[in-house]
Amino acid sequence: MRVVNVLNSRRAGVFGLGASLFALALAAPAVAEAPSDMAFSAETFELAAGGGVDAAVTLPADDTPALASQDEAPSPAAPAAPAAPTAPPPPKDVDLRVVASQFVDVPIAGDARSLARYSGRVDGYLEVRGSFYGGPSNLTLKLRPEYTWGKTSNGEIGLIPGNTALFRPEGAGDFDLSASVEYQWNSGATLEVGKINVLDISGSLPIVASDGHFGFQNLGLALPPTAVVPNTLTGALLQVPKGKMIYRAWVYDPDSQYQRTGFETAFESGVGFMVAAARRTTINRLPGIINVAVVGSTRDSFAVDILPVALTPPPQPIGTFGNESGELALQLSAYQFIKMYPEARGKGWGILARFQASMGDPTFLDYSGYIGVSGNPRFRPQDRFGLAYFQYSLTDELVDDIAFRLGIEDEQGVEAFYTYGIAEGLGLTASVQVVDSAIAFRDTGVTVGARITADF
C-alpha cells in the first residue's frame, strides 16, 4: 500500500489529538457567573453555512445578562456590541440529526494521476435524555454511527489526508459506532464516559468549525495532527466552566478505538491524558478564546497502531527512534472574531491560529500548527469561506532512521474553500489545496474538489 494511503488511515488516531484538545476549550458551556463583558451567546460563535451543522456545533448558549453598556447608545466610533442573548430552547428528550456529504476531487498538479474520485460519508447523531425513560434529565445517552464509501485523493499528494471525512485506520471497514453517556451538573460542568469520536469536538471550534462535512477539508486544519490522541477514543472527559475560564481533563486509552468496543485494548499501551485551560476574551468588544493544553501518555514505545508500516523504523540497536517512554506535548491556540455583522446575528469572520510541540521520541510528530481566516461574507452571511496555512514535522530521529529507504521532510500546505448556502441545511463547497508533500521526491501538488452537504 502506498505510504500516503497508510498515513491517511493509520494517522487517523494521530491527527485527532490536536483538534480534540482545542475543541476541549471551545465547546464549553457558559455559566451565569461570567462577568457582563463576556455576555455573548452561542450565536456569537455561530459560523453556519446555510443552516448546516456549523450552526449545531457552536458553543452552548450563555446564560449571562446582557452587556451593561448595551443600555447606552454606542458611540459612532465604537463597534457595535453583539446583540443580547436570547434564552435557548429547552433540550429535546430525543434528538436525532443526520449529516451526509458527497465528495469529488481531482489532482491537477504534482505527481498524482489527474483522475476524478468520488466518495461520501453519512453521520448520525442520536441523543436520548434520561427524562425520556423516567430517569434524570441531566443524564444523556449519545449514539454516533458513521459510514463512508468511495475513493478520494487521500495519500496521492501529501502524507496528511486531504479529505478528513474519509480518513480511517488502515485495513478497517467503512462503518463504526461510538456510544457514550454524559452527566451534566447544574453548574454547567459535564462528565462524558465511553467511546467518543474526536471529530465532533473539533467541529465545535469557533471560527474553524471544521469536522469533515463542513469548513476546511484537509486534516491538518480540520483535525490537526498531534500523534498523541486517537481519532476515536475510549475514556472519560471532564469539563468545568468557571467564569471566563473553561477547564478540561481527559483520561483515555491511547490506542485508536475505531471499530472497537474499547475493551479489546483495555489500556494495554498505557494511559493517555490531557489537561487544558481556556479563557474567553474580548478584543474591541468582539469575542475570542485562548487555549493552553498539555497532552501526553505513558506509552513505552511509539504508537504502532498509528505509525504507517512504511514509516516504521528498523529495530534497535540499528534504529534509535522509539527507545524512550512517555509522551508529552504542549498546545497553544487562539480564535478571535475580527468582524461581526449586526444585520446577521452571530455571523462574521475571524482569525484562527494553533501551535503544538512535543518532546519527540516516542511521539513521531515534533510540531504542527496552522494560521488563517474563516467566517461568513457580509454580502451572503449564509455562506462560509476559509483560507489557511498549515505545517507539520516528523520527529528528527524517525526521519534519520528511515532516510535509507524514504526521504522525509516537513509537510506544508494551503487550503481555501467557499461554501454556497443553497437552502437551509444544504450547502455546496468548492475547495483547492496546495501541498508541498513530506515525501521529499514528490513535487508540490494541487487538488481541487467539491462537496455537497445535507443536514437533516
Question: By three-state DSSP, how is residue 318 classified?
Answer: coil
**Within-domain flag for 430:** yes
Q: 326: pLDDT confidence band, cut at 50, 70 and 90?
A: confident
pLDDT at 78 over 90: no
Residue 73 lies in a domain: no
Mean pLDDT score, 169-197: 92
Q: Residues 339-369, buried b or exposed e (16+ Cβ, 10 A)? A: ebbeebbbbbbbbbbbbbbbebbbbbbbbbb
Residue 224 has pLDDT above 90, yes or no: no
Q: What is the CATH number of the domain that holds 337?
A: 2.40.160.180
Residue 243 Ramachandran class (φ > 0 left, ψ -120 to 50 alpha, else beta): left
Q: Please tell me the distance from the alpha carbon of residue 307 to that of residue 382, in angstroms, as a whole number.
A: 40
Reported as a pLDDT band with limits 50, 70 and 90, residue 173 is confident
pLDDT the model gives residue 87: 61
Which pLDDT belongs to residue 269?
A: 87
Q: What share of the chain is helix, strand, coil (3-state, %, to 5)?
A: 15, 40, 45
The verdict on whether omega for the bond into residue 362 sits within 30 degrees of 0, i.e. cis, is: yes
Sign of CA dihedral 456, 207, 387, 277: negative
- Residue 375 within any structural domain of the chain: yes
Q: What span, in angstroms and rounded, lies between the C-alpha atoms of 353 and 399? A: 26
Q: Residue 97, class by beta-carbon neighbours within 10 Å (0-12 exposed, 13-18 middle, 19+ buried)? A: middle
Phi-psi region of 194 (alpha: psi -120 to 50; beta: other; left: phi over 0): left
Strand partners, 101: 121, 453
Q: 348: part of which helix (H) or strand (E)?
A: strand 348-358
Could you list the residue range(s) of the whole structural domain that residue 98 is in? 3-64+93-455
215 found inside a domain: yes
Residue 77 included in any domain: no
Kindly give, in sequence order, each residue whose CB lies less than 8 Å from that of residue 40, ignoring residues fewer than 6 positions away: 62, 82, 85, 287
Per-residue pLDDT, 323: 74
Q: Is residue 295 within 8 Å of residue 229, measured between CB atoms?
A: yes
Is pLDDT of 74 > 70? no
Question: How many folded domains does the chain comprise?
Answer: 1
Task: Judge whether residue 222 has pLDDT over 60.
Answer: yes
Amino acid (1-letter code) at residue 82: P
Average pLDDT of the segment spanning 350-358: 95
Q: Is residue 284 part of a domain?
A: yes
Question: What mean pLDDT value characterizes the chain?
Answer: 80
Is the pLDDT assigned to residue 69 strictly greater than 60?
A: no
**What is the pTM (predicted TM-score) of this model?**
0.80
Cα dihedral value 185, 189, 195, 197, nearest 10 = 130
Q: Which of 21, 5, 9 is nearest to 357 (CA)?
A: 21
Q: What is the pLDDT of residue 303?
A: 73
Q: What is the pLDDT of residue 362?
A: 83
Q: Report the C-alpha gap between 345 and 103 in whole angstroms.
A: 30
Answer yes or no: is 131 within a domain: yes
**pLDDT band with cut points at 50, 70 and 90 for residue 170:** low
pLDDT tier at 271, thresholds 50, 70, 90 = very high
SS3 assignment, position 371: strand
For residue 192, the model assigns a pLDDT of 97
Question: CA–CA separation, 308 vs 74, rounded Å?
Answer: 57
User: Looking at 118-122, 147-151, 300-304, which range is the least confident one?
Assistant: 300-304
Cα Rg of the chain (Å, integer): 21
What's at 137, amino acid-wise?
S
**Regarding predicted confidence, which is higher, 353 or 255?**
353
Q: Are 276 and 239 in contact (CB under 8 A)?
A: no
Alpha-carbon span 206 to 40, nearest angstrom: 13
pLDDT for res 27:
35
Sign of CA dihedral 375, 380, 382, 385: negative
C-alpha cell at 219: 486534516
CB count, 10 Å around CB of 178?
Answer: 22
- Is the per-residue pLDDT at 212 higher than 80? yes
Residue 352 and residue 386: Cα distance in Å, rounded? Answer: 10
For 13-28, the pLDDT digits (tens) are 333 334 333 333 333 3
Does residue 70 form part of some domain?
no
Q: Quick check: 11 and 169 in contact, CB under 8 A?
A: no
Band (pLDDT 50/70/90 cuts) for residue 228 is: confident
Spatial distance between the Cα atoms of 247 and 61, rounded to a whole number of angstroms = 17
- What is the percent of the chain with per-residue pLDDT over 70, rounded to a whole number? 79
Which cell numbers in the block locate residue 225? 495532527
Question: Measured in whole angstroms, how far is the alpha carbon of residue 158 from the centre of its chain?
Answer: 19
